[in-house]
Amino acid sequence: MPHYIVYLSNIGATNLQPIFICGSLFMGIFFVWAVIEDYYLRTPERKYFPPIFHWFLTAVHALAIALSIIASLCILMASCLKDNWQYSRPHSVFVVLFVIFVFSYLCAHMLTYIIYYKHYGVKFYRNMIIIKVIWIAIAIVFVVTYGAFMGKGNSGGRHSIWWGYSAIMEWVLVFWYGLMFPLLMADLNVKNYGNQAEYLMGQGNEAGSASGSGNDDYDMERITKQETWDNHNPFDNRYENEHTTGVQENLTQGYNNRQFL
């Protein structure tokens, strides 16, 4: 083929395959572990982050864990194929499934963040939703471009220059996927959640003891209420219409004369 960029999958079919298998394995372990921790640290028992307050969130977290496991297994199986030219169809199937399950995981993950943001009002949830929507939108553009270049290469034969362009897009997609892991790490950084997380962890008995993180407009009253596991709609902001009168006064008295609304 008259192109100078080699497909990453072709490199993985050489004697470097064990490195690719180990890399896929450890990447999958970290991916699944991060998704599990994202749920476990939100359970009412741990309360490391603003906790889960509805059974629907538990179900969506379980779905996200299952999707991350399947996605990790798909990319591991793709790396285990010795020759992607000999096993081109299975290789393509596993890669496509990997992409589908990663996107499905992100959709489930962002659904939980939408609910958390609506319930707790933490700015970090909103910011991460925006960042991940942008990440997904750019990833979709890359995937479509990669598929279009590969289609042009198929129509032009094995010596088409479009294979080189599609190889470039494959490398771009690999590095773009790698950017998802810093986002997972950010999700597990308790400092990003500001005063609410500090309050839940018992780092202060009043608002004045919380560190100055720039998140002073949080409604601390929301997280003092007992977590409910009834059948109310998790998308409803139960606190939006509650205590519409006198809430500022109550918060001022309850939290050392500091306003959080």
Structure tokens at 159: 């010596």
Q: Which amino acid is at 211?
A: S
pLDDT of residue 11: 75
Query: Pick from 20, 88, 34: which is nearest to 64 by CA?
Result: 34
Largest CA distance in the chain: 75
CA distance 57 to 64: 10
Contact 158, 1 (CB under 8 A): yes
pLDDT of residue 203: 39
Structure tokens at 133: 């929507």
Q: Which amino acid is at 219?
A: D
Query: Pick from 178, 187, 179, 185: which is nearest to 128 by CA?
Result: 187
Residues of the chain where predicted confidence (pLDDT) is lower than 50: 1, 200, 203-231, 238-261
Contact 9, 78 (CB under 8 A): yes
Give the other-Cβ count within 10 Å of 88's Cβ.
12
Whether pTM exceeds 0.75: no
Query: What residues contact residue 186 under an 8 Å CB cut-off, 6+ apart?
Result: 128, 192
pLDDT of residue 256: 40
Contact 1, 161 (CB under 8 A): no
Cα torsion 154, 159, 164, 165: sign: negative
